Amino acid sequence: MLQRVITILFDFVLSLVHLYTVPQLIGFALTSSAVIFISLRRGDIQRFFRRAFRTDLAYSAWFPVYTVLIGIPLSLRLAGFVTHYAPFLRIGVFSNLPAWANIPLFFIANDFVLYWLHRSLHQSRWLWAVHKIHHSQQELNSLTTWRVHWLEFVYLNIGAFTVGLFLGNMKLLHPVVIGLLAASQFAQHSDIEWTYGPVGRVIVSPRFHARHHSAAPEDINVNFGSLLIIWDHLFGTARKTPGRPLAYGLVAAQDNVPPSFLRQQFYPFLYLWRSALRSCRAKFNQRYAPKA
């Protein structure tokens, strides 16, 4: 029995490792090394020993577990539902295009959808209750990329699945591109003063995304882009300012997210429950309060 349990656990851990490709691991390693090196030069290596970083580390360990236990089964269930009940939803407008056209068009269209999904996380108070956990980190580092509540991952997974139905599957990427994309995502949350020079006029740089995490009131709801910054410029949400923000995190009125990983898992549910109670109480008082 014990041997069987050990075998199952070993296979499960092995499946977690296989979620990442070698190029992705290289991209993560290179970016993390740069963050540690720059932190050493700043004399700020202590941030990797504080609770905020440990919380990000817990999210990093949780993400592959979520993928195996929730993300993949959810995608399979959705795919099965469409196959059996709504095959007409598989439009796949880019499916038959050659790779040289499929890849850039898919990137652009998918990034457009990600921009609006990200904006919706800020504009809906229900979604914001989930997304604000990502913004609660006051000491950005590469692992903040994974500080995302599992409900937000479900929301984004459903969005990605819908995009896949409409666009079709993206052609295979070159391993170097996969590594660069992984490094780019880690770099955006690295608190590194990188602008990417001329490339940063098109691609989201660490400086550009850092402004999105700023705690300053004037920086609220800016720089939503995931990979491309063109959507922020087109829809008036771009904010380019020199230097790093003075502080990261939530504005004072919103800063009520608990610091620990476990308590953050319950935070959205408690927030929604309290909001529902307040709403019901207000409606009750409005309807039954004695009139003067």
Query: For 32-70, what is each residue's pLDDT tens digit?
Result: 888 888 888 888 888 888 999 999 999 999 999 999 899
Phi and psi dihedrals of 56, rounded to 5?
A: -60, -35
pLDDT tops 90 at residue 255: no
Mean residue pLDDT of the chain comes to 89
Instruction: Kindly report which listed range (126-130, 194-198, 285-289) carries the lowest average pLDDT score.
Output: 285-289
* Statement: residue 290 has pLDDT above 70: no
pLDDT tens-place string over residues 108-137: 999 999 999 999 999 998 999 999 999 999
Determine the pLDDT at residue 13.
56
Average pLDDT over residues 180-189: 92
Task: Please give the full DSSP string across 91-137, using - where no structure is assigned.
Answer: --TTTTS-HHHHHHHHHHHHHHHHHHHHHHHHHSHHHHHHHHHHHT-
> Average pLDDT for residues 251-270, to the nearest whole number?
93
Mean of the pLDDT values across residues 160-166? Answer: 93
Q: How many helices (H) and strands (E) does the chain have?
A: 11, 0
Identify the pLDDT of residue 137: 96
pLDDT band at 6 (very low <50, low <70, confident <90, very high): low
Single-letter amino acid, residue 194: W
